[in-house]
Amino acid sequence: MKNLIKKLVETTSPSGYEDKIRNVIVDEIKPYADDFRIDAMGNLIVRKGSKQPEGMSIMLAAHMDEIGIIITHIDENGFLRFTSVGGVFPTHCIASRVEFLSGETGVIYHDAMESREKLPPLNKMYIDIGATSKETCSVKVGDMAVFQRPFVDLGDRLVSKAMDDRIGVAIQIEVLKQITNTPHEIFFVFSVQEEVGTRGATTAAYGIDPELGIAVDITSSGDMPKCARMAMKLGSGPAIKVKDSGMISDPRVVKSLVKTAEDGKIPYQLEVLEAGSTDARAMQVVRSGIPVSCVSIATRYVHSPSEMIDYNDALNAVKLLVNYLSNPIQLSL
């Protein structure tokens, strides 16, 4: 999967501008899909299988957008003020490079500070693209950019911007490729605008009206020095979400995923995330409600230009979901 992951994470597609990454995904899924369509929001909805008497209608969702910035003002010297699109934090910005959708590169820096000990907020930062005046500045108000950082293969550990959630996208593509027989009608949704409010998954779930929903996303890790206390660790297997700040997983879905992992001798973790949520939050409350959970990949340095995952966790997430979706699913306590 490494070549696929590299291709996905290095594609520039912030929230609302997912065309480039969607085109990459379409090229990957075409040979394996029964059919696919792009809805009005821009979600890519890929169908595989037909519902058998013992099967269900199932929606998987991995968001294809990434966090970014948008230009709000250009001064007379060509310096660009900006605000965030999704969860962009000042800690990750200073001296970072960004790439605009046009291909332009800029450097983020900050106004003069009274103290180096205090981090400036985003509204005290600017982007320098090398322009000498407002007139020579090729970037305009409303233009968007993402962090510019290449994919790095460290063996078992992979590092890049946009692992959130291109690793989920890669997992869904690989699951689609590997499933050869299923009693379910499965909708693989590559959703838009998750980073700004799970908007794409909301409309996709309403249109599909599935009987079961599973998000495929990242989660924070608790295995760094002096970090927040979390049970999540890189390399300990995919996480089966129990709860996050936006939803509580249906315990029947959690139980069925755990059983699949244990039956297949697949390593797994149980996830409780205190801050943050996924497309599962949106799916859960669509129409009359949908039982949901999420399969997560533990990630270090979330929403930074250098998000780190363990490759084996991704491979085991594929195995878990292939096993889960290839057999009838019993939702019972």
Q: Classify 306 in phi/psi space as left (phi over 0), alpha (psi -120 to 50) or beta.
A: beta
Which DSSP helix (H) or strand (E) runs through 80? strand 80-85
CA angle 139, 152, 160 (to 5 degrees): 50
**Counts of helices then strands in the chain (DSSP H, E):** 7, 17
Give the CA count within 13 Å in the CB-facing half-sphere of 92: 20
Helix 163-178 with 19-29: angle, nearest 10 deg: 20
All domains in the chain, ordered by first residue: 2-66+161-325 (3.40.630.10), 68-147 (2.40.30.40)
What local confidence, expressed as pLDDT, does residue 259 receive? 97
* 313: nearest Cα among 236, 254, 261, 242: 236
Q: What is the SS3 assignment for 59?
A: strand
Q: Tens digit of pLDDT for each residue in 28-49?
A: 999 999 999 999 999 999 999 9
What local confidence, expressed as pLDDT, does residue 116 receive? 78
Phi, psi (degrees; rounded to nearest 5) at 221:
-115, 150
How far is it, in rounded angstroms, from Cα 219 to Cα 304? Answer: 13
What local confidence, expressed as pLDDT, does residue 173 receive? 98
What local confidence, expressed as pLDDT, does residue 230 receive? 86
CA 144 from chain center: how many Å? 18
Any idea which residues carry the catalytic annotation?
194
Burial, 117: exposed, middle or buried (Cβ in 10 Å; 0-12, 13-18, 19+)?
A: exposed
What local confidence, expressed as pLDDT, does residue 229 receive? 84
* 32: nearest Cα among 132, 174, 192, 140: 174
Provide the edge-to-edge strand list for the sheet that holds 157-160.
Answer: 152-153, 157-160, 307-310
Round to the nearest angstrom and report the end-to-end CA distance of the chain: 35
* 277: nearest Cα among 209, 173, 181, 201: 201
How far is it, in rounded angstroms, from Cα 164 to Cα 277? Answer: 12
Question: Where are the extended beta strands (E) located within 141-255?
Answer: 144-147, 152-153, 157-160, 185-191, 212-220, 239-243
CA 54 from chain center: how many Å? 31
Per-residue pLDDT of the chain (333 residues; tens, 9 = 90+): 999 999 999 999 999 999 999 999 999 999 999 999 999 999 999 999 999 999 999 999 999 999 999 999 999 999 999 999 999 999 999 999 999 999 999 999 999 887 778 889 999 999 999 999 999 999 999 999 999 988 999 999 999 999 999 999 999 999 999 999 999 999 999 999 999 999 999 999 999 999 999 999 999 998 989 888 888 999 999 999 999 999 999 999 999 999 999 999 999 999 999 999 999 999 999 999 999 999 999 999 999 999 999 999 999 999 999 999 999 998 987
pTM attached to this predicted model = 0.95
Q: Which residue has the tokens 């295995």?
A: 223
Helix 19-29 with 2-9: angle, nearest 10 deg: 160
What local confidence, expressed as pLDDT, does residue 231 receive? 87
